[in-house]
Structure 1
Amino acid sequence: MNIRPARPGEKLPASLLLLADPDWSQVEKYVDKSSWTVAEENGNLIGVCGLMPLDQASAEIMNLAVDPDWQGRGLGKRLIASALEQAQGQGYQKVIVRTGNSSLNQLGLYQKCGFRMVRIERDYFVNNYPEPIFENGIPCRDQIVLELMLRME
C-alpha cells in the first residue's frame, strides 16, 4: 500500500468521498479547494484525505475516508499523519477537523492523533443537510470542531 499526494487532475472516487460526507453538494464546496493525499493499493484508491487552507496560519482536514474493506488497519491514522506533515511543511500553525456528534470512531481517531475538542456547533447537520443522518444509532445533529496546534521548527 502506498500513501502519496494526489496527482494534478486525478479523479477522486465519489464512492470514497461520500463515505465521509453523504451530501455531494457539500463535497463540491471543498473538493477543488483542497490538496489531497491518497492511499493506493494495486492501482486502486482506498483512502483519501483533503487539506484545505483556511487562512495563512490554519488549514482544515476535509473528508478523511477509507474504503470499508481497509478500515481498522491504521490507514486513517497514516492519512492524517501525512496531512499534518503537509500542513507543517506549508507553514500552518493549526489544523482543524470537523465531524458529527454521532461519529464515535472518528472522534476517537482524531483524539488519538492529538486533536482536542474546541467547540460544538449545535444543529449544524440539521440545518445544512437535506436528509437526516444517523450513525451508531445516534442522530447526527451537532458538529464537533477539533484542533491540533503544530510545532513550529
Structure 2
Amino acid sequence: MLIKRVPSAEAPLDLLLEADPSIDTIKRYLESSICHVATIEGETVGAHVIQPIGDGVYELMNIAVAPAYQGKGIGTKLLEHAVNMSRKLGAQRLELGTGTFGYQLAFYQRAGFRVISVERDHFLTHYDEPIYENGIQHKDRLLLALEF
C-alpha cells in the first residue's frame, strides 16, 4: 500500500463521503487541509484529511476506507500516517470529532485518543439529514485528542 499526498482538488470525494455525509462540509474543509490517499495497485482504497487549527494543533477532519477494503488494517495505517504527518508538521496535539458511540470511537481510543469535550447537538445542528448508525441517531459529538 502506498500513501501519498494529493492536492485537495484531487481528494476522492466519493470516498470521503463514507465518513462524512455532507459534501458541502467536506468541500469547505478541503480548502485549507492536507489530503493523503492510500492506493493498492493504483486503486484508491483510503484517505485522510488533516487541517491546522491553531498553535501546535491539527485536526483529523476525515479518515475513510473503501467498503471493500475495510477490516484489513488500512484504517489503522492511515491513522498512524495522519498522526506521524501531524507530528512532522509540528503539531503537539491531534484532535478529531466523532459520534458518541460506534466502532469509530473504539478505533480512536485504541490508538490512544482521549475524550476532551462533548459538543451537544452537533449532528442535529450541522447536518441537514439525520445520521443513524445501527438504528441510533447521532446527536452529540465527542472531541478527542492525542497529545504528542
Normalising TM by the smaller chain, what interval? Answer: over 0.9
Per-residue displacement from partner, 1:39-83 (whole Å, max 9, x unpaired)? 101212110101100012100001100001111111111111111
Match of 2:90 in 1: 91
Shift of the 137–31 alpha-carbon distance from structure 1 to 2, 3 Å rule, reads same
Match of 1:124 in 2: 122
State the AA in 2 paired with 1:44.
Answer: E
Match of 1:68 in 2: 67
Match of 1:28 in 2: 27
Shift of the 35–54 alpha-carbon distance from structure 1 to 2, 3 Å rule, reads same
Per-residue deviation, 1:127: 0.8
State the AA in 2 paired with 1:121.
Answer: E
State the AA in 1 paired with 2:62.
Answer: N
State the AA in 2 paired with 1:90.
Answer: L
State the AA in 2 paired with 1:147.
Answer: A
Shift of the 40–128 alpha-carbon distance from structure 1 to 2, 3 Å rule, reads same
Distance in 1 between residues matched to 2:92 and 2:30, nearest whole Å: 22
Per-residue displacement from partner, 1:5-50 (whole Å, max 9, x unpaired)? 22x3661222101111101111111012111121101212110101
State the AA in 2 paired with 1:88.
Answer: R
Per-residue deviation, 1:4: 2.2
Q: Any gaps of 5 or more consecutive residues in structure 2?
A: none
Shift of the 9–87 alpha-carbon distance from structure 1 to 2, 3 Å rule, reads closer
Match of 1:5 in 2: 5
State the AA in 1 paired with 2:79.
Answer: I
Distance in 2 between residues matched to 1:94 and 1:134, nearest whole Å: 29
Asked if 1 retains the 8 angstrom alpha-carbon contact of 2:8 and 2:31, the reply is: no
Match of 1:16 in 2: 15
State the AA in 1 paired with 2:44.
Answer: L
When normalised by structure 2's length, the TM-score is 0.94
Question: What is the aligned length?
Answer: 148
Distance in 2 between residues matched to 1:127 and 1:143, nearest whole Å: 11
Match of 2:147 in 1: 149
Match of 2:138 in 1: 140
When normalised by structure 1's length, the TM-score is 0.91
Match of 2:106 in 1: 108
